[in-house]
Amino acid sequence: MRESDLVLEYAVQARRALEAKGFQVRLTRQGNDNPSFDDRSAMANAQRGTVFVTLHVSSTGSPGTVRVYTMSDFPAAPNATGLIPWDRAQAPFLELSHRLGDLVQGQLTLQFKGSPNTAQPATVRQLRTTAAPAIAVEVSSILVEDPAELARMGTGITDAIARGVAAFRPIYDASPVPGAVP
């Protein structure tokens, strides 16, 4: 099983789980096309009230565990114009991303023992240009003895993501300005 196929399968399942909770979902790819990081960010940044979830399967880590990453702290650019520079788009959303990440990670850890309790910081390229609460979810690992095991994890992963995003919704709604946690 190829990683890209598995991730797409997870994404389709996540869409179903999120739609069941009343969210509108857009996938950044439909098949084996490979949009650039900026193309994916552009799709998310064009929406309002968005959260962004990027899914990955690693080739390391304890098999059967799932980690959530949020962008490491990095300084925002000076705000003279009121515009957010593209290459720092995530900076104003870091706090909200951490809260979303912790909520999703908490749900995942209930399902997958051995996963961390909180989201981890990482300098993920995809997250940097995303102007919304954004997390990366990485499943360990593509090297499991039985590839079907990864497919079976899909339901638990996507249900946990949907529950985490649903728990985040009131926090996001109560945030008056994007990026500012009340």
* Shorter beta-carbon distance to other proteins: residue 94 or 103: 94
* Shorter beta-carbon distance to other proteins: residue 10 or 93: 93
Q: Is 29 in the site for other proteins (CB under 8 A)?
A: no
Q: Is 2 in the site for other proteins (CB under 8 A)?
A: no
Helices 3-20 and 147-173 meet at what angle, rounded to 10? 40
Residue choice 5, 19, 73, 149 for contact with other proteins (CB under 8 A)? 73
* Shorter beta-carbon distance to other proteins: residue 20 or 77: 77
Helices 147-173 and 94-111 meet at what angle, rounded to 10? 140
Among the listed residues 136, 126, 154, 124, the one whose alpha carbon sits nearest the alpha carbon of residue 35: 126
Taking the complex as a whole, the smallest distance from the CB of residue 63 to other proteins amounts, in Å, to 11
The β-bridge partners of 55 are 137
DSSP 121: E
Pull the structure tokens for residue 145. Answer: 């003895």
Q: At residue 42, what is the residue type?
A: A
Q: Is 122 in the site for other proteins (CB under 8 A)?
A: yes
Q: Is 45 in the site for other proteins (CB under 8 A)?
A: yes
Q: Is 110 in the site for other proteins (CB under 8 A)?
A: no
